[in-house]
Amino acid sequence: MIGEPQPDIPNSDESGIWLSIGDLMSGLLLFFALLFVTVMVKLRDYQQAFEQLPIVVLNAIERELGGQDIEVDERTGDVSIGDRILFDYNSATLTPEGQAFLKQFIPTYSQVIFSNPDLENEIVRIIIEGHTSSSGTAQGNLNLSLQRSQAVFNYIASDAVQFPQKEEFQQKLLPAGRGALDANPERDDPGDRRVVFRFQLR
């Protein structure tokens, strides 16, 4: 009828643009959904690897080094080595027995890390922590703990210890001294004198 407004009919160019934008948005949505699924699967793999890490470390060390003064934290995978394995009392010089121990321990420990690509990529640092008991001065204990961790690091870096992936393993190492920070303040506990290998995750 005359005088009635005519409905707007979109031209074909505008329809094509809106269809293209819709297709693009659908494609982006699908891409991000796939990306999300991939990330979630990877995170699950990482989680499973790290949940199993303490058990893997424990089993490998018990198999290769059972019966020695070594403890593995079943929650974190931290490996604690009693100082009497490595050093004489109040000394930061590795004993021959300590050197022989590290020669056996380090290849086993390294093999656990580099046997799983997820662990290898996610572990950015392996901290070698020196610890002392509360006996002595705070500064003396801190110095001794740092010197001991450095002695362990230097021996691993020396030609005396050879194993696959040595260079990659060495790049992850960081010596650190804790002194008596984690020691029993009430008494001189020999169990507080130790060297701990601890993972630092990405």
> What CATH number does the domain containing 106 carry?
3.30.1330.60
**What pLDDT does 2 receive?**
54
CA 182/CA 130 separation, integer angstroms: 11
| Sheet containing 79-82: order of strands | 70-72, 79-82, 194-201, 123-131, 173-179
Which region among 11-15, 62-66, 114-118 has the lowest average model confidence (pLDDT)? 11-15
Q: Which domain holds residue 76?
A: 52-201
5 within some domain: no
Tokens for 45, please give them.
């793999």
pLDDT of residue 34: 72
Residue 10 lies inside a defined structural domain of this protein: no
Evaluate whether residue 2 is within a structural domain.
no
Give me the mean pLDDT over the 54-80 stretch.
74
Say if 125 falls within a structural domain.
yes
Residue 42 domain flag: no
List of E strands, the chain: 70-72, 79-82, 123-131, 173-179, 194-201
Average pLDDT over residues 7-28: 66
pLDDT at 9 over 60: no
Beta strand ranges found along 6-51 (DSSP E): none
Q: What are the tens digits of pLDDT across the range 89-109?
A: 899 999 999 999 999 999 989
What is the band of 119 on the pLDDT scale with cuts at 50, 70, 90?
Answer: confident
Per-residue model confidence (pLDDT) at position 192 = 93
Residue 23, pLDDT score: 73
Give how many domains the chain has, as a whole number.
1
23 assigned to some structural domain: no
Look at residue 155 and tell me if it is in a domain. yes
Whether residue 35 lies inside any domain: the answer is no
